[in-house]
Amino acid sequence: MQGSGRLGVVLAIAASLAAWGQVGTKNQSGPVHLQVDDLRSPLGIDDATPRFSWQLNDAARGARQTAYRVLVATNPELLSDDKADVWDSGRVSSGQSLNVKYAGPAVKPSTRYWWRVELWGADQKAYPASKTEWWETGLLSQGGWRGDWIGWETTEEAAVRKAPAVWVANPDVVPGSAKPNSEQRFAYRTAVKVEKPLERAVLFATAEDTVDAWVNGEQVLKAAAFPPYHHLPWKKFVRADVTAQISEGINTVAIESVHYIDKYGESRRKDAPPMIATVILLYKDGTTATVGSDGTWKSTEHPADGWQKKEFEDKGWKNAQVFQQASGPQEQPVLHPWIPDSVKVLWKSFDAGETISHSSDKDPSPGTPGVKSARLYATALGTYELHLNGERVGDSVMAPGWTDYRERVLYQTYDVTKLMKSGANVIEALLAPGWYSTSLEWLQQPNNYGDTPPALRAQLRIEYTDGKVEWVGTDASWKADTSFIVHSELYDGETQDLRELYRTFNRTGVDARPGKQVQIIHPKEIRIEAQSFEPIRIDQAITGPKMTEPKPGVFIYDFGQNMAGVEKLVVSGAAGTDVQVRVGEALNPDGTLYTENLRTAKATDHFVLSGLATDVLVPHFTFHGFRYIEVTGVKSASSVGGVFAQVLHTDFHFTSKLKTGNAMINQLWSNILWGQRSNFVGLPTDCPQRDERLGWSADAQVFWRAASYNAALASFTRKFAADLRGTQVGTPYYGIYAPGTAKISPGVAAAWSDAGVIIPWTSWLQTGDTSVIDENWQAMRKYVDAIDARNPDGIWHNDSGIPFGDWLSLEGRTQEDLVATAYWAYDVNMMREMAHATGRTEAEQHYAKLEEKIRDAFDKKFIQLDAKVAIRDQLHERFIHVGAYIPGADNSPSPFGDINNPNAKATGGDTQTGYVLALHMNLLPADLRSRAADRLVEKINDNHGLLNTGFVGTPYLLEELTKTGHSKLAYDLLLSKGMPSWGYLIDHGATTTWERWNGDEMMGDPQMNSYNHYAYGAVADWIYRFAAGIDASPLDAGFHTVVLHPVFDARLSPLEFNYASSYGTISSTWTVKGKAAEWKVTLPANTTGRLELSDKEAGKYKVDGVGLSESPLAKKVNGGFELVAGSYQFEVEM
């Protein structure tokens, strides 16, 4: 099973490379792989000046383009006749083959354009023209939207959302007065008057951290125990149906909030822990009444016995105090905890040719000709799934994806021409809470983006063969109802009642469902932008898992691979049977499912069977991180006819393939790809399984270069860069994750916030596309210059934010202002390079001077005469005495564990990471670099030849060892199997990279222990750039010049690496035989290679049997040798 699953991955990657690279002698020479805005035939983009790119397929040595011609037309037949009725660039003498900007007349919305390119080669002869490709514009502007925002709530949902309840607290609490490992309990009471016959009564309540609740003395809610993770999802309501406990007349609702005190003896609040409750009374006459917590409720900390009963006298109790949020930069709003977790179905029936036209075209008349094309444009505040005439529209999942919905949301375009019918049609949408209103973060705060319910906005454009156009948009004529999905949350999972499945969908086109009228939703006005990167899709199914039964009726299925996705089961059983599916990354010693590291996430799906012969069980609006699934509720294993794991991720093209003679490295490469596949789901998350799944920016920035080798990420990068810019609302600093949640700006931290600069720089370096610089320039400059304004002495110690430092390092804390200053210098260097690439001369000069100022300040503060990176003064007091945890955004215990435990070593700068950063960020004088590297080697040797770095130091460790002449040690660390090392993870069963080096030892401490975290996978960057020797240059970005510096080692021999760059596939293959290496490299057309060698090293190289310095194939240049496009065979003395 395990092997077959991984074979499928290898085949998928190989197919992706074949489709992407398009370079090979079997193909006809000429332009291939045409793209618009880094996408192949994009449907529905809003770019008014799209960028054209192509590759030149020509394996001849020295092949290059000398001129191009781009033709754009309204139909392909014109291009076949060499005519362009939209734009003809004419012959342009240029080697540019990437990001050629459209310069024709203004493009029209909802229009398909056809294009092709003609090229001339080095001999000035024309290549055969390219195949004709197309792109299609979207709505182009906000004014193109005709549909309304629509949604629907049940009476109960609307009542709880609109309830006047407020957070309250006990007025007498003294924060910090409780003892370690204790509880604070506060009692609340109120009277609820029921005036007429009830249909239903419901209580919603929550408190920090949990609640007990009684109605007329009968308990209806029971407080949750304090879990090992020391967090409870208290920011969302818990529901209890209290119809049986409540009666006409006066009733008593009694609530006890339970606040747990951690082992350090400190309350996690500077103020009183809050409580909120709402009673919803649904009367039989259709009216509704609500009673919400407010200042009239009574409260005490030490109630007498029997206080929950109706007859109890609470005369001595004080009025509850309306909760006031404590102020401060790290405070996070405590929002309304209502949860719109059910999934609605919205639909409209219409007749093609008879709908009302909202366009400027003439109204269609009876007998309208056939449909020429039909496009469906859709978005949601929530997530949606569309059906037209009973058929699924598109294959994307979790659309429209996650953005900061307070500012912008993406829309998607679908070609539904083939789904249209003559006469009656019906369009349906499932609408789920998604990222918009489901609970997020470790405390599970719902409704981070607004107080309106989930909403859909869509419009269908139908163009007929006679040129007429009509629209069907979301409006008040649509109908709505509940669906078969009765509950859906990202962290907790999904509940489906499959008995309602066929009531939910209509497959006939003639719709007779009564339904309810939808509601027009009025959210805050936001930008609606076309999605300009690949959607999230299910790209494969892993089959044949191994099944065990550790307990009777508990079936565990092992897929052999950690992943992000959803289960798919084929099950038989009686109607009403509740089949429960839980997921996990590991097993307990007894073979049962281990879920503690999921923290507050339940990650559980429930399926109520329909009673048909078989049911297909698959979630629609959630996904999980897992290797194992647990199935309960079935009679026996034979009731489960099929078990699959459906893998989902943003559907980018994989662009790298690596194979070595070392099985461990091959497995490491697989693990790294799976980590990226699992966590690039609409944005780069830290992990796919627990109650977090945020776009943590440090994880992303350290991995982005490796990720950009692994896959084509240009368009995905622009999306995430926009998310990062969104966190600058009200501040010049980028956030520690993006999109923001309850707080738009989630806080600043060195190495985290720097992602706003590093990620655009990385994308430009890998692709050569300067548009990503232009899009982010103002935001990047605002950030870097703000640090300068607050730190004129050149040391970043003011406003450096949360002291994460070298996250999860095993060595101790590298001094925070050293880490911060190093990253600031790194940003400034990148700004200088990007300014140079875009012709911003003044900015380039400014950042060159600022870089020098920071370097001088770093030298004076941190560098000793013996080249030790150490401090001359004491660590800042706030870093020594920050306490046992970094406070969370609302002073709750941080999800970050005890990284700043006062008992941890405070080692200043004399750490492996201290030296790595000083070297990598170019902060050391040239004469001290080798001495600092020697000290780094000494630190490694002192640690038994093992690394000791965390998220910040590890990505650059092997590179700096290699650059300073310690490549053997770099290989030793890569291949080590001691703890900590990549080999240790693999020896202990890892199929992805882990969050902790010792994750297998941390199962008893679930606070921070993901088994699917890609950060340490950044080592792939070293493998590609140094082991394989394929690198990019900021002087000629995008692999237009390919920098070649392979580092041979017999322990990886043979090595084969292929990278499908924007110009075509670059390959590097080498084998070590004795004391020599045979190395073959291929450079695609339109590129140049630069082999970085000193004169001494060059004497060890032969190319095609001739000494490198004597060969006419290599041109001597400063710092090495230049090679034209083509294939070369080298022999190298080692």
- Give the integer Cα–Cα distance in Å for 188 and 322: 13
For residues 664 and 990, give the distance between their C-alpha atoms in angstroms, rounded to a whole number. 11
Q: Which of 585, 692, 959, 1131 is catalytic?
A: 692
Strand partners, 1058: 657, 1067
CB 476 within 8 A of CB 520: yes
Query: Going by C-beta distance under 8 Å and a sequence separation of 6 or more, which residues neighbour residue 327?
Result: none
DSSP string, 104-138: SSPPPTT-EEEEEEEEEETTSPBPPPPPPEEEEE-
Local structure of 821: helix, strand or coil: helix
How many other C-beta atoms are found inside a 10 Å radius of the C-beta of residue 719?
21
Phi and psi dihedrals of 218, rounded to 5? -100, 125
Going by C-alpha positions, the residue among 378, 435, 368 that lies closest to residue 401 is: 435
**Dist. CA 786–CA 770, nearest whole Å:** 24
**Residue linked to tokens 């979630």:** 619
Instruction: Note whether 427 and 348 are within 8 A (CB).
Output: yes
Those residues whose C-beta lies under 8 Å from the C-beta of residue 317, and which sit 6 or more positions away, are 187, 189, 298, 299, 300, 303
Strand 1120-1133 to 546-551 pairing: unpaired
CA–CA gap between residue 155 and residue 163 (Å, rounded): 12
Cβ atoms of 677 and 647 closer than 8 Å: yes
Q: Which residue has the tokens 């002192």?
A: 942
Do the beta carbons of residue 1080 and residue 1070 sit within 8 Å? Answer: yes
C-alpha–C-alpha distance, residues 12 and 654, integer Å: 9
What's the rounded Cα separation, in Å, for the pair 255 and 237?
13
- Three-state DSSP class for residue 933: helix
Parallel, antiparallel or unpaired: strands 51-57 and 30-36: antiparallel
Length of the chain: 1134
Please give the Cα distance from 396 to 565 (Å, whole number).
13
Q: Which residue has the tokens 């073959």?
A: 1080
Q: What is the dihedral of CA 208, 209, 215, 217, to 10 degrees?
A: -120
* Nearby residues of 227 by Cβ (< 8 Å), 6 or more positions away: 596, 599, 600
**Which of 243, 246, 273, 245 is CA-nearest to residue 258?**
273
In eight-state DSSP terms, residue 350 is E
Cα–Cα distance list, 604 to 262, 493, 543 (Å): 28, 5, 20
CA distance 963 to 604: 49
With tokens 């005709």, the residue in question is: 146
Burial of 49 (0-12, 13-18, 19+ CB in 10 A): exposed
The structure tokens listed for 162 are: 């609109």
Query: In 9-64, where do the E strands start and end?
Result: 30-36, 43-45, 51-57
Closest listed residue to residue 184, CA positions, set 118, 120, 245, 256: 256
Q: Which residues contact 124 (CB under 8 A, 6 or more apart)?
A: 66, 67
313 is catalytic: no
CB 628 within 8 A of CB 557: yes
Q: Does the annotation count 995 as an active-site position? A: yes
What lies within 8 Å, CB to CB, of 164 at 6+ separation is 290, 292, 294
Q: List, by residue number, the catalytic residues.
A: 692, 995
